[in-house]
Amino acid sequence: MTKVELEDAVHEMAVDAYLRDLKMPGALREYRELARQAAAGGTGHVVFLKEVLTCEMESRRRNQIAQRLRDARFPYPKNLEDFDFTAAPSVPKAKILDLARGDFVREHENLVLIGPSGLGKTHLGLGISRQVIQQGYRARFTTTLALMDELLSAQSHFELPKCLRLWSRFDLIMVDEIGYVPLSTDGARLLFQFFAEMYERRSLLLTTNLEFSRWPDVFGDPVMTSALLDRLTHRAHLIPLAGESYRFRQARDRVRQGDPHPSAASEA
């Protein structure tokens, strides 16, 4: 090893140690190769520095999104790319893709997907939430029952304010399946409080199989329900879906083709 090579190796060890201490793994991974390319191509020092920092910025962004996707607690990986819009003519494709750009979240608007079971409401909601995270927002998924249980438990431990603070860290909150099960009086009241707390401060993405006129059946108190609907629908994108269950149709088509057994690939 020549004297120059030895000096270079010492400098690299120092740079490695600094980048580790500064927690800059993206720069650490790439700077040697970028330095080699810069030396070979005669790139200026500022350009080299910018390229190293760009690597670090991109690596941080990727890590942040990966972390936010974990924080979202999605029950399964559904993407808008996997959604077959041709099989769902009632779904306004352009509108869905537009919502997935996340502007409604920046504006603290709500999104309600309404329609019978099996039409892809959960799939669309998960796909939109995932895209919204890619735009740099925080999102979390829950179901009506899970949220109600969480609120009831928080209340019984005198931790409701803490629980509400935790949820308000998210820009978009997806609450799946409103209307499948009637709620207890306490549960309905807490959900009402939850939605009121998030109103115009956060975005809610709700899926429901019930027309709004039937929401009192689930929430009980008609006065409270009407106040709730007032808030939920005030600054909201309402998307009604209609048609036949996607799975039911797939199963029927398979039977017609003489193959009653679902293939593994078509399972969610």
Binding residues for Mg ion, rule: CB under 5 A, are 122
Region from 11-19, 35-43, 117-125, 182-190 binding ligand ADP, contact rule CB under 6 A: 117-125
Strand partners, 141: 174
The rounded distance, in Å, linking the Cα atoms of 158 and 28 is 46
The rounded distance, in Å, linking the Cα atoms of 170 and 140 is 7
Site string for ligand ADP, 55-94 (x = CB under 6 A): -----------------------x---xxx--xx------
Site string for ligand ADP, 164-203 (x = CB under 6 A): ----------------------------------------
Of 55 and 130, which has the nearer Cβ to ligand ADP? 130
User: Exactly one of 15, 134, 246, 251 binds ligand ADP (CB under 6 A); which one?
Assistant: 246
Distances (CA, A) of 182 to 215, 226, 243: 10, 16, 25
To ligand ADP, the closest distance from the beta carbon of 246 in angstroms equals 3
Burial of 124-145, coded b for 16+ CB within 10 Å and e otherwise, reads bbbbbbbbbbeeebbbbbbbbe
Residue 211 CB partners (closer than 8 Å, separation 6+): 114
User: Exactly one of 120, 127, 179, 187 binds ligand ADP (CB under 6 A); which one?
Assistant: 120
Give the pair of three-digit tokens for residue 52.
Answer: 């190293």
Residue 119 lies near ligand ADP (rule: CB under 6 A) = yes
Contact positions toward ligand ADP, by CB under 6 A? 78, 82-84, 87-88, 117-123, 207, 246-247, 268
